[in-house]
Amino acid sequence: MTTDFARRRFNEMVLPHLDDAYGLARWLTGNRTDAEDVVQDACMRALASLETAVVERPRAWLLTIVRNTAFSWMGKNRPKAVVLVGDSELLDAAAAHRDASPGPEEVLIAAADEAALESAILALPPIFREVVVMRDINGMSYREIAAATGAPQGTVMSRLARARAQLADKLGSPA
Amino acid sequence: MTERPFEDDPTLLLNAALDGELDAAGALDVERRLAADPALAAEYARLAALRDAIRTRLPRERAPDALRARVIAMAQTPNQAAPTAPRRSWRLAERYRPLAASLMLGVLFGAGGYRLFVRPSGDDEVQRAIVAGFIRGRLSGQTVDIATSDRHTVKPWFAGKIAGATTVVDLKGDGFPLVGGRIDVVGRTPVATLIYQRREHQIALTEMPATNPDASTEPRHDTRDGYSLLEWTDRGRLYAAVSDLPPAEIDAFGAAFRHAAAAEREEPPKP
């Protein structure tokens, strides 16, 4: 049962951030149809909790729900996509690929087009992809990302650094 | 993971600098390191190029209208078990009860127990919303979504989130250093708010479109719940500053901001 109270809060706290929610869901799931499912699902969870929840930062709060919904949705519908590799394993693999000499690839990166950027981001492992998307596309702070992902802030920072290094290596190497 | 992440990996520091997540001392430290280490400076340039490419080249997609309509309908339905036109089968009640419970718990912990919620109302909605935003920020100790004294970081940060360009000026020279920015919501509209510091006080300045697109009016004082407010309009934009400073100082702030904003309009655009 939805009360007026929850409904009013929903209008104030969820609806203004629907574009953000959809954007995050699209990056996490990799396609628009699934993103719509995830957002609708997440909004329903948000509405259900608004009866009693104390929400200080509605945007980060909603994006956290979207993120968790997306991961459980993918776990159920696309179990192969969610590879739950430990952080250290991923980080080591990432470090091995690091180019030792950053050079004028900066120019190549700056020239990367939308399609190249998109495919590079979608190719990242999910736990790396989400930090880049939350930070650079949703504009969330480190603290908000840590809260949303349930990871310590130091871990968020390592993941972000590795994810960006991978993206920069990929986009900065001549095709 | 690592306790002191900066010691063994300077790229974490570079990323944090790029994201405006460092305090003044940290930012200064990075500047020193970049000046002394060309390899580090090149890495910083590479990361900045990547960040800018992601921010400027990837389109921000709006939620499809059909989805928005479904979500709105869902909240309006008296009985939430029946959203209009579900896309797949929904077995709600059983599926969500445990989730909702754990979610609420998480939110309760995360929010530290404040319960500040402003009823929407036609009159003074703007004032209400910005004063509430100010109080909330002071209570939680987290007044900004992006903490940086660099106006060239704040402005693009707003760009993807707010319709229209936001005026961002640094007033350090006038004794009001820029602390950062955040998004407030007035009614259903996200608006840009800048935070400036004055001694131990802060000033929150919110900018939004004025009702009259040509409006330019002189600053007007007001108080609400004991806070000083200063409102003015400038070429169709409404500015509202709120603070716990005495009125004379918020006046000085308003004058400094208007002066700097006018000066910025004269300035040639940066490449």
Q: What is the pLDDT of residue B143?
A: 79
- Which of A116-125, B55-64, B118-127 has the highest average model confidence (pLDDT)? A116-125
Query: pTM, whole model, 2 decimals?
Result: 0.52
Topology, domain B125-266: Phosphorylase Kinase; domain 1 (3.30.200)
A54 and B107 within 8 Å at the Cβ level: the answer is: yes
Which residue out of A33, A101, A141, A156 would a mutagenesis test of the B interface target, given it has the greatest number of B Cβ atoms within 10 Å? A141
| Calpha distance A93→A44 (Å, rounded) | 38
The mean per-residue pLDDT over the stretch B189-211 comes to 88
Strand B201-209 to strand B189-198: parallel, antiparallel, or no bridges (unpaired)?
A: antiparallel
What separation in angstroms does the CA of B29 have from each of A154, B26, B48, B77, B152? 19, 5, 18, 55, 20
Give the burial string for B193-202 (b: 16+ CB within 10 Å, else e). Answer: bbbbbbeeeb
DSSP H or E run through B196: strand B189-198
Tokens 């718990």 found at: B105
Query: What confidence category does residue B80 fall into, taking pLDDT thresholds of 50, 70 and 90?
Result: very low
Contact B111 A135 (CB under 8 A): no
What's the first-to-final CA gap in chain B, in angstroms?
40
CA-to-CA separations, B160 to A64, B56, B57, B118, B143, in angstroms, rounded: 19, 9, 11, 26, 20
Nearest to A12 among B72, B104, B185 (CB): B185
**Beta carbons within 8 Å of A151's beta carbon, 6+ residues apart:** A159
Q: How far apart are CA B54 and CA B145, in angstroms?
A: 19
Q: Which residue has the tokens 């590879």?
A: A83
Residue of B nearest to A5 (CA): B119
Type of residue at A32: R
In 10 A of CB A149, how many CB atoms? Answer: 19
- Report the pLDDT averaged over residues B91-103: 54
pLDDT band at A1 (very low <50, low <70, confident <90, very high): low
Domains parsed from chain A with CATH numbers: 4-77 (1.10.1740), 87-172 (1.10.10.10)
The two tokens of residue A77 are 């519908």
For residue B7, which residues of chain A lie inside 8 Å, CB to CB? none
Gap between the Cα atoms of B146 and B183, Å rounded: 9
Using DSSP's 3-state secondary structure scheme, residue A93 falls into: helix
